[in-house]
Chain A
Amino acid sequence: QKEVEQNSGPLSVPEGAIASLNCTYSDRVSQSFFWYRQYSGKSPELIMSIYSNGDKEDGRFTAQLNKASQYVSLLIRDSQPSDSATYLCAVGPYMNYGGSQGNLIFGKGTKLSVKP
């Protein structure tokens, strides 16, 4: 059973600080990795995708992928109260798997709270 693990939090950071969100996955041959933001009562919104080892930056967000360690992280610089949400890590398995094993696997999410 392939798994995606996230610390459920809550992770509390002061406004302006760097928030660091972590995710580990069990399937070594996973191909694609995503971070979603979900506000309370809303649907998940894609904020970052990463496919290769290393860092990928988009504005205040940086995704980091280390396939050897099976680890993907999201850094949020200059955190704002509006960043307070649950962040979902999703992992895309190798598509030659049949049936439901070919679907994205979502972690349970980490709740982030940014205090003014």
Chain B
Amino acid sequence: EADIYQTPRYLVIGTGKKITLECSQTMGHDKMYWYQQDPGMELHLIHYSYGVNSTEKGDLSSESTVSRIRTEHFPLTLESARPSHTSQYLCASSVQQGNMNTEAFFGQGTRLTVV
């Protein structure tokens, strides 16, 4: 069973508020990811990190920011939430073995609603 945790599971917040979605993993994985997924739609990679102090933007433009100060922790922050940010946010982690990507493990997700 994967040990990757996201909090909160559900969040309803007003427009303009600052929010931080938490993601922690206890597997010592170097690689961590944030995906955004609307109901019934595909996964979109919005941020990734290959290790401490390494963060990159993903394939889908996002107004959120991330940090990676510790290996196990990869929080995502929205400085000013808008209704367009309403979505499910999924955190994942994986490990690289040689030149090969191994499987990614997902947290349970945070369902964000901005009103």
> Which residues from chain A sit less than 8 Å from chain B, CB to CB?
31-32, 34, 40-46, 49, 51, 88, 90, 92-96, 99-100, 102-104, 106-109
Question: Please, could you name 23 A-B residue pairs with CB atoms under 8 Å apart, sorted by A?
Answer: A31-B100, A32-B101, A40-B39, A41-B111, A43-B106, A43-B108, A43-B109, A44-B43, A44-B90, A44-B106, A46-B2, A46-B103, A46-B104, A51-B100, A90-B104, A93-B101, A95-B96, A100-B48, A100-B56, A100-B58, A103-B58, A103-B101, A104-B94
Give the residues in chain A near B96, CB-CB below 8 Å.
95
Query: From B58, which residue of chain A is reached at the shortest CB distance?
Result: A100
Tally of contacts, chain A with chain B, CB under 8 A: 66
Chain B interface size range: 20 to 34
* CB of A73 to closest CB in B, whole Å: 18
> Which residues from chain B sit less than 8 Å from chain A, CB to CB?
2, 33, 39-40, 42-43, 45, 48, 56, 58-59, 88, 90, 94, 96, 98-109, 111
Question: Is the CB–CB distance between A43 and B90 below 8 Å?
Answer: yes
* CB of A1 to closest CB in B, whole Å: 10
Give the residues in chain B near A94, CB-CB below 8 Å.
99
Known A-B contacts A31-B101, A92-B100, A96-B99; the reply to A106 vs B42 at CB < 8 A is yes
Question: Is the CB–CB distance between A95 and B106 below 8 Å?
Answer: no
Besides the known contacts A95-B100, A102-B101, A104-B94, 11 further A-B residue pairs in the complex with CB atoms under 8 A apart? A31-B99, A31-B101, A32-B102, A32-B103, A34-B103, A41-B39, A43-B107, A44-B43, A44-B90, A95-B96, A103-B101
